[in-house]
Amino acid sequence: MVSAPNAEACGACGAALFDRFMPPVYFWSLLSILWFLAIAFTASIRREKIEGVPSVIAAFCLVIVLFIIGIMYMGPAILLLLLIPCITATSKVFFLSKEKESRQRLTKDIKIIGACGIIAMVGLGAYSVYLRSSRTESDYILKWENTYSGKQALKNLKMLGAEAVNDFRAIVQRGGSTAVVIAAEGLAEVGDPESDVPLLLNALTSIRSIGSSTKSAKVEKALRTLSGIELPEGTATNIWRKEWQKTLQKSNLETEK
């Protein structure tokens, strides 16, 4: 399927950059928000004040402001600032001396919330390591193909040559039109005609369906290179398929001889 949004936001670029090193980016943001609001809500319930943590209403407002700034400019990494008061408050309660009863209840609550937050953070950190080691380059590109980081990763992929053939195939099958064109050009250089010409034919059909003549021309050029078939630009896809079938049959006959 070939589809791609035209607009690209700075916030998305920030998210892509952060996700490069600490995926999944939105889970880290969610952990920061929930942990921060949980502490603020608990302090309000206990009618106590925690240094560095605002009232629950102010906490909600702060989260909203940071969220908007993240979307518009910096990405979700800015929400990680909320972890600072969370970790600070959690660290302090484990070293507090005995206090009045109401404060002791708050201390117990913050210990429980903090323990849950730390466990979640460790678990998420382990999951980040797993994702970074297991996901392919095409997985990252397909997720962030309309951001600067995604586009740069795709350019770097072309420099790998034959090592990137499986990534090229994945992008041709599931990427947006711009990414598909670049991956198609990569397949033209290192792909296997029998396996990859059908992929390029499907990509050509999809790109033509969105009316991009420039991009379809580039995919056709990749088809000529990979298949060895010379057809004029704008040739119908069904004719391409017929010519490719003839080429395969001819190749099989020569092999049998």
pLDDT tens digit sequence for 114-124: 999 999 999 99
| Whether residue 175 is found in the same domain as residue 222 | yes
Residue 6 has pLDDT above 60, yes or no: no
| CA–CA separation, 217 and 36 (whole Å) | 52
Write down the pLDDT at residue 48.
Answer: 87
In the block, residue with structure tokens 């429980």: 112
What pLDDT, on the 0 to 100 scale, is given for residue 100? 59
Residue 120 and residue 158 share a domain: no
pLDDT digits (tens, 9 = 90+) for 227-248: 999 999 999 999 999 999 998 8
Cis peptide before 54, with omega less than 30 degrees from 0? no
pLDDT of residue 11: 85
Residue corresponding to tokens 């730390």 = 118
Nearest to 68 by CA among 113, 10, 122, 119: 10
Q: What is the 3-class SS of the chain, one letter each residue?
A: CCCCCCCCCHHHHHHHHHHHHCCCHHHHHHHHHHHHHHHHHHHHHCCCCECCECCHHHHHHHHHHHHHHHHHHHCHHHHHHHHHHHHHHHHHHCCCCCCCHHHHHHHHHHHHHHHHHHHHHHHHHHHHHHHHHHCCHHHHHHHHCCCHHHHHHHHHHHCCHHHHHHHHHHHHHHCCHHHHHHHHHHHHHHCCHHHHHHHHHHHHHHHHHCCCHHHHHHHHHHHHHHHCCCCCCCCCHHHHHHHHHHHHHHHHHHHHC
Is the domain of 114 the same as that of 221? Answer: no
Based on the domain organization, do 125 and 155 belong to the same domain?
no
Of 225, 192, 194, 218, which Cα lies nearest the Cα of 204?
218
In this prediction, residue 127 carries a pLDDT of 96
pLDDT, tens only, 26-50 = 999 999 999 999 999 999 998 888 8
Q: Are residues 121 and 214 in the same domain?
A: no
CA angle 14, 79, 22 (to 5 degrees): 55
- Taking only the tens place, the pLDDT of each residue in 154-207 is 999 988 989 999 999 999 999 998 999 999 999 999 999 999 999 999 999 999
Do 244 and 141 share a structural domain?
yes
Name residues whose C-beta falls within 8 Å of residue 116's C-beta, 6 or more positions apart in sequence: none
Tell me the one-letter amino acid at 135: R
At residue 4, the pLDDT reads 40
Query: Whole domain around residue 174: which residue ranges?
Result: 137-256
Please check the confidence at residue 148 and state whether its pLDDT lies above 50: yes
* Residues 113 and 128 occupy one common structural domain: yes
The answer on 165 and 128 residing in a single domain is no
Residue 142: the pLDDT is 96
Residues 126 and 143 in one domain: no
Q: Please tell me the total count of domains within the chain.
A: 2
CA 46 and chain centroid, separation = 40
Q: Answer yes or no: is pLDDT of 1 > 60.
A: no
In a shared domain, residues 251 and 143:
yes
Say if residue 9's pLDDT is above 70: no
248 and 145, same structural domain?
A: yes
Is residue 252's pLDDT more than 90? Answer: no
Residues 6+ apart with CB under 8 A from 193: 226, 227, 228
pLDDT of residue 86: 95
In this structure, the chain runs to a length of 257
Q: What letters, b where the CB count within 10 A reaches 16 and e where it falls short, cover 86-104?
A: beebbeebeeeeeeeeeee
Question: In DSSP terms, which residues pair with 53 in a beta bridge?
Answer: 50
Whether 157 and 60 have beta carbons less than 8 Å apart is answered as: no
**What sign results for the dihedral spanned by CA atoms 43, 48, 49, 55?**
positive
Q: How do residues 65-89 score in pLDDT, each as one tens digit?
A: 999 999 888 888 899 999 999 999 9
**Co-location of 84 and 30 in the same domain:** yes
